[in-house]
C-alpha cells in the first residue's frame, strides 16, 4: 500500500484544511479508498436508515416515515408537492429539490416557484422528445400557468451554461390566509412571504440556470459561482434545484455547493459532513463512491482556479 493510499484512508472521513488538499490531486487523494461506500453505509446505520430507506422510489422525494411531511413544501391550498427541503451548513432549507415537471405538473411547479419565494432555479437536465419531461420555461414572450404569467426577459448562453430571467406576475390579487394545522410553521411563513412579495410588488424576477453537461468539476464550480453571484443580488432566497429524478444530479449539485461554501467560509474541505447534511431529508443523495470522489474533484478545481491555497497554507 502506498503512502498516499494510507493518507487517503486517514483523511477520508475527516475535515481537511484546504492547503492539504492542494498537496495532491483530488482523484489521487481518494483513489483506492474502497471503504467510501462503507462510510456512507455506517452513516445510514447511525441515522437509523436501513434497506427500507435505501429502496425508496425516486418518485417519492421525501424521506420515509412520520417526518416526511415536515420536509416537504406545503402549497397555499394546503396540498403537498413532490419536492423536499434540503438544509445548508448555516441556513435551514437552503434548497428545495424536485423532479423535472411533466406536462401535467407545470402549474404546480410554478406554484412552487412562487410560493417558496425562490429567485433562483437550477436545472440539470437534457430535454428531448420524451413526452414525460418537457421544457417548462419560455425562451421568448410569455406563458401562463394557472394564476401566474411567466415572461422571459433575458435569454443568453455563457459558455455552455444557459441563463434566462423571468418576470413572474399574478393574474389575481393575492389574498393572504392563515392556515391551521401546518406541520411546520416556518414553511408556512416562508410560503406566505413569497406570496406577499408577489402581491405587494406585482412581479418578481427569477433567474434560471440550465446546465446539461457534467463533463468536468470545473463546470460545476462555474455553475455554483453563477448561482451564488445571483443569490447575493437577489436576497439569498431558497434555491430551487431540479433534475429528471430529483435525486442524482440535484443531490450532487447541493453537496458540491455546500463543499464550496465550507471552503469559502471556514477554509476546510469536509465532503463527509456535506453529504450527511443533504442526506438528512433525502437519503438517496450521493449513493456511490464516484459521486463522493467527484465532490473532492470539485473542491480541488475551485482551489486551483482561485489559487486559494497560497492564502490558507499554515
- From CA 244, how far away is CA 102, in angstroms rounded? 10
Find the mean pLDDT for residues 127-141: 77
Give the CA count within 13 Å in the CB-facing half-sphere of 25: 4
pTM of the model: 0.75
Please name the residues in contact with 189: beta carbons below 8 A apart, sequence gap of 6 or more: none
Helix axis angle, 217-234 to 248-266, nearest 10°: 70
Other CB atoms within a 10 A radius of the CB of residue 259 amount to 24
Summarised one tens digit per residue, pLDDT across range 73-109 is: 878 888 888 899 999 988 899 999 999 998 889 999 9
- At residue 98, the pLDDT reads 95
Report all structural domains of the chain as residue ranges with CATH numbers, in order of start: 3-312 (3.90.190.10)
- At residue 73, the pLDDT reads 85
| pLDDT of 68 higher than 50 | yes
Percent of the chain having pLDDT more than 70? Answer: 63
Find the mean pLDDT for residues 221-230: 96
- At residue 130, the pLDDT reads 59
Considering the chain, what is the average pLDDT of its residues?
A: 76
Choose between 121 and 267: higher pLDDT.
121
Choose between 144 and 128: higher pLDDT.
144
| pLDDT of 16 higher than 50 | yes
| pLDDT of 188 higher than 80 | no
| pLDDT of 209 higher than 80 | yes
Q: How confident is the model at residue 200 (pLDDT cuts 50, 70, 90)?
A: very low
| pLDDT of 233 higher than 90 | yes
Q: How confident is the model at residue 50 (pLDDT cuts 50, 70, 90)?
A: very low
Selection from 208, 217, 234 nearest residue 113 by Cα: 208
Highest mean pLDDT among 155-159, 185-189, 305-309: 155-159
Q: How confident is the model at residue 27 (pLDDT cuts 50, 70, 90)?
A: very low
What is the full DSSP assignment across 134-179? ---S-SSSEEEETTEEEEEEEEEEETTEEEEEEEEEESS-------
- At residue 177, the pLDDT reads 38
Summarised one tens digit per residue, pLDDT across range 273-303 is: 999 999 999 999 998 889 999 999 999 999 8
Coil, helix or strand at residue 18: helix
Q: How confident is the model at residue 39 (pLDDT cuts 50, 70, 90)?
A: low
| pLDDT of 36 higher than 70 | no
Amino acid at each position: 500500500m502506498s503512502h498516499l493510499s494510507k493518507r487517503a484512508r486517514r483523511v477520508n472521513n475527516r475535515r481537511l484544511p484546504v492547503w492539504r488538499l492542494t498537496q495532491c490531486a483530488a482523484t489521487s487523494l481518494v483513489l483506492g479508498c474502497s471503504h467510501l461506500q462503507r462510510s456512507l453505509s455506517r452513516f445510514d446505520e447511525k441515522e437509523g436508515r436501513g434497506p427500507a430507506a435505501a429502496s425508496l422510489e425516486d418518485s417519492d422525494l421525501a424521506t420515509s416515515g412520520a417526518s416526511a411531511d415536515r420536509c416537504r413544501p406545503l402549497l397555499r391550498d394546503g396540498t403537498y408537492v413532490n419536492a423536499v427541503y434540503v438544509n445548508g451548513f448555516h441556513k435551514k432549507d437552503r434548497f428545495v429539490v424536485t423532479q423535472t415537471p411533466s406536462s401535467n405538473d407545470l402549474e404546480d411547479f410554478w406554484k412552487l416557484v412562487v410560493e417558496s419565494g425562490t429567485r433562483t432555479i437550477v436545472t440539470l437536465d437534457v430535454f428531448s422528445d420524451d413526452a414525460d419531461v418537457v421544457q417548462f420555461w419560455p425562451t421568448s414572450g410569455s406563458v401562463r400557468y394557472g394564476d401566474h404569467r411567466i415572461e422571459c426577459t433575458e435569454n443568453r448562453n455563457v459558455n455552455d451554461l444557459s441563463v434566462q430571467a423571468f418576470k413572474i406576475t399574478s393574474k389575481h390579487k393575492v389574498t393572504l390566509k392563515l392556515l391551521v394545522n401546518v406541520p411546520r410553521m416556518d414553511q408556512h411563513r416562508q410560503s406566505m412571504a413569497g406570496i406577499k412579495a408577489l402581491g405587494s410588488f406585482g412581479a418578481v424576477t427569477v433567474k434560471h440556470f440550465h446546465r446539461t453537461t457534467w463533463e468536468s468539476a470545473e463546470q460545476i464550480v462555474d455553475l455554483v459561482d453563477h448561482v451564488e453571484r445571483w443569490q447575493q443580488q437577489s436576497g439569498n432566497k431558497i434555491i430551487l434545484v431540479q433534475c429528471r429524478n430529483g435525486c442524482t444530479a440535484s443531490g450532487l449539485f447541493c453537496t458540491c455547493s455546500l463543499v464550496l461554501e465550507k471552503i469559502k467560509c471556514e477554509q476546510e474541505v469536509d465532503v463527509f459532513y456535506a453529504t450527511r447534511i443533504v442526506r438528512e431529508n433525502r437519503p438517496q443523495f450521493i449513493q456511490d463512491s464516484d459521486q463522493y470522489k467527484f465532490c473532492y474533484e470539485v473542491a480541488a478545481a475551485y482551489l486551483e482556479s482561485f489559487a486559494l491555497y497560497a492564502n490558507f497554507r499554515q
